[in-house]
Amino acid sequence: MSYLPQLQTFLAVYRLGSITGAAIDLGMTQPCATQHIQSLENKFGKSLFTRLARGVTPTVFADDLAKKIALPIDDIETLIGDLSISASDLAGEVYIGGPVEYVSSQLLERLSQLKAYNIQCNFSFGGKARIYAMLENSEIDLAITASKIEDEHYQFDAIAEEKLILVAGVEFEKTNQLARLTSVEKLSKPFIAYDVELPLIRDYFGLTLTQALKIKPTFTVPDLRCILDLVARNIGFSVLPSYLCEREVNNQKLHVIINDIMSVANTLYLVSSKRTRQSQRVKFVKDFIKVS
């Protein structure tokens, strides 16, 4: 006897923490989903879930089973979906969240190719907290983020490396003699940050959050494109992704300040929630972003 349907149901219950939620997600009745779980428990002779007032929690055996079958089950579902997919199945909307700077400069042109499949991409922008809140509330299907949180309900796929560079306007650099800046103690000159937690500057200099909060930037501007503009106009210096500064550096509007630390880069991830079942359209866009 094949237990594939039962294992698919188990995996849905495991990921959603609810038999009712899994039944809705899989398009079956709650009694049918319960029967699938009971069938597996009879097969293995072990309990898979502990019933709570609201939802269920997995047993240790269920944790081990999920680790062993999650990838094969997902691969089978993807294969079946790929074999049966058609252009009409792909047509529709996909919701994507991420940092406006990366999306606008690195992603929009690539995703414009999806118009051939009648796929419309709708974007939302924001920082880490807003992006994860939108994923949690199913407001977006996919997210681009530089953070990888420890949560089994999210799937992370590395899609790019974001090299960080320390830059100043050419005239500002000459005036302030910033040809070399080797440590955080030298941050006495005017500098511009995304916010008071100094996210990119903190990464660049290897600072803790506590250290970062003790440093006061001249400006905080929650848009890296605005920071780029201010730096290019010789207002101050900052740490920015290299992809955002390439044109200005080549045109000699920006000077890359020499540093004695190792090259610093953030990994950018494509994040999706395991709590919601992805449509073939979302999976198609996800794969498109990963391989583009």
- One domain for residues 175 and 40: no
Instruction: With cut-offs at 50, 70 and 90, classify the pLDDT of residue 153.
Output: confident
- One domain for residues 195 and 254: yes
**What is the model's pTM?**
0.65
Instruction: With cut-offs at 50, 70 and 90, classify the pLDDT of residue 93.
Output: very high
The residues, ordered by sequence, that sit 6+ positions from 66 with a Cβ below 8 Å of its Cβ are 10, 11, 14, 58
Instruction: With cut-offs at 50, 70 and 90, classify the pLDDT of residue 259.
Output: low
Cα–Cα nearest to 70, from 274, 287, 286, 271: 274
d(CA 124, CA 104): 11
- One domain for residues 234 and 108: no
DSSP letter at 244? H
Which position has the higher pLDDT, 80 or 50? 50
- One domain for residues 143 and 179: no
pLDDT reading at 185 higher than 70: no
Q: Which of 68, 84, 100 is the last residue of a domain?
A: 84
- One domain for residues 257 and 274: no
Q: Which of 49, 66, 84 is the last residue of a domain?
A: 84
- One domain for residues 69 and 208: no
- One domain for residues 140 and 185: no
* Residue 104 structural domain: 87-159+267-291
- One domain for residues 44 and 172: no
- One domain for residues 260 and 171: yes
141-154 mean pLDDT: 86
- One domain for residues 52 and 192: no
pLDDT of residue 82: 60
Q: Residue 249 corresponds to which tokens in the numbers above?
A: 């550096």
- One domain for residues 166 and 254: yes
pLDDT of residue 181: 64
Structure-token match 């349907």, residue found:
5
Instruction: With cut-offs at 50, 70 and 90, classify the pLDDT of residue 146.
Output: confident
Per-chain mean pLDDT for the chain: 85
- One domain for residues 49 and 109: no
pLDDT of residue 255: 85
Task: Read off the CATH number of the domain in which 175 is found.
Answer: 3.40.190.10
pLDDT reading at 115 higher than 80: yes
Q: Which of 29, 56, 84 is the last residue of a domain?
A: 84
Task: Read off the CATH number of the domain in which 74 is found.
Answer: 1.10.10.10
Instruction: With cut-offs at 50, 70 and 90, classify the pLDDT of residue 262.
Output: low
pLDDT reading at 188 higher than 70: no
Task: Report the b/e string of 82-92 with b at 16+ CB within 10 A.
Answer: eeeeeeeebee
179-188 mean pLDDT: 63
116-124 mean pLDDT: 89
Query: Percentage of the chain with pLDDT > 70?
Result: 89
pLDDT of residue 49: 93
pLDDT reading at 227 higher than 60: yes
58-87 mean pLDDT: 78
pLDDT of residue 87: 58
Count of domains in the chain? Answer: 3
- Using the Cα atoms of residue 96, residue 102, residue 108 and residue 111 in order, give the sign of their dihedral: negative
279-283 mean pLDDT: 84
| Beta-bridge mates of residue 161 | 267
Helical segments of 137-241, H only: 170-176, 199-205, 209-213, 224-232
E-assigned strands of 129-236?
142-145, 154-169, 192-193, 219-220
The residues, ordered by sequence, that sit 6+ positions from 120 with a Cβ below 8 Å of its Cβ are 92, 93, 94
